[in-house]
Structures are given as C-alpha cells and as structure tokens.
Amino acid sequence: MALSSIFGGAAPSQQQGTTSNPAASKVKEQLKVQIAQELAVANVTELVNKITENCFEKCLTSPYANAQEGCVDQCLAKYMRSWNVISKAYVARIQQASTSGEI
Amino acid sequence: MSSINQADLANLDDGSKKEIMTFLEAENSKQKVQMSVHQFTNMCFKQCVPAINNGDLSTHEEQCLNNCVNRFLDTNIRIVKGLQSLQ
C-alpha cells in the first residue's frame, strides 16, 4: 500500500454490479465514493497530526524563537519515506503470515 | 458532492446491499492496516531517526525502521501466545 492511497489516490473498485436498476447503481456508487473519501480525509488528518507532532519535537526547541522551516521540510520528507518503509515491511509481514497459514 | 437519495437508499435490493457490505469489509480491513502503519511509523520514527540532517533516510535508519516493525510484531505475537498459555 503506497502513501498515495491515503490521499484517495486509489479509486474504489469498479465492480460490475449484477443490478440493472439505475437508481440502485447510482446509490451504490455514491456510497462507495463517499466512504472512500471519508476514509481518505481521516487518513490525511492522522498523517498531518503525527508529522506535525514528530517534526515539532525534532526541529524546534524552547523558547521557540525560530520556525526552523528547513528542518521541518526535511523532517516531512523523512517521515513520508519512513511511512513507506514501514508500510512495505508490515504488508510483507502480513503476506508472509498469510501464506504460511498463521492467520 | 451530490447527496444520496434516501428513497433509493431504502429501496436497495439485496444484491446491492451485499455488494456494499463486501465493499465496507474490504475498506475496513484496509483502514485497519493503514492505522497500524500510522502507529508504527510514529513509534519507530521517534526511535530510528535521531536527527534531521537531510530529507533522505540513511541505510542505517531504513534498516532500523524495518527491524522496529518486525520486532514489534514479534513481541505482539509472543505476548498473545504467552497469554494463551495462561488460560
């Protein structure tokens, strides 16, 4: 799972429904889009909060006279790279566990 | 965003309801994985990235992040097994 999926980059799966009713298909699609969008918003919010917390801690010190913009920018890049590394490692672990029948 | 027609929503056929449920279950599991990744990144970043000198991860930092997730999961599995053996 790549970071881009957090920002709603992954479109909801376009499943060809068995229903021929156009009203039902429309509601179904609307529901899926709405759910996917709300999850994307929740994920971005979580990411922004966690990065702010971590980079504030790493880059700024009392009495907070300087904004340390350079450090914050680098920290943001580092955090996103870390997110991708962790995601890959975790997904690999889940896959490994599921092929060996652990879960 | 166009709002959902409540009457159409109430009149969804069983096949559509089932499709929505399947979709929800899939999104739900994806979301659980995402939240775990948020948690692990938050925890491991604090431990593995001591200073910000540039925007790239060093090999050392990357290795630490990988180890951090894997050891956390090992610990989690061990705790679950330990608790199971107590029952």
pTM: 0.85
User: Which residues are within 8 A (CB) of A6 and not within 5 positions of it... i.e. 6 or more apart?
Assistant: A40, A43, A44, A47, B34
Q: Per residue in A39-66, pLDDT tens?
A: 999 999 999 999 999 999 999 999 999 9
What ipTM, to 2 d.p.? 0.89
Please state the domain extents for chain B. Answer: 6-86
Question: Choosing among A50, A78, A98, A100, which should be mutated to test the B contact, i.e. which has the most B CBs within 10 A?
Answer: A78
* Closest by CA position to A53, among listed B37, B68, B46, B48: B46
3-state helix, strand, coil in chain A (%, to 5): 70, 0, 30
- CATH for A22-99 (2.60.40.420, 3.40.50.300, 1.10.287.1260, 1.10.287.810): 1.10.287.810
Our CA-based measurement puts residue A28 at a distance from the nearest CA of chain B, in whole angstroms, of: 7
If one looks up domain B6-86 in CATH, what number appears?
Answer: 1.10.287.810
Our CA-based measurement puts residue A62 at a distance from the nearest CA of chain B, in whole angstroms, of: 17
Query: What pLDDT does A31 receive?
Result: 93
Tell me whether B62 touches chain A (CB under 8 Å).
yes
Contact A24 B62 (CB under 8 A): no
Please state the domain extents for chain A. Answer: 22-99
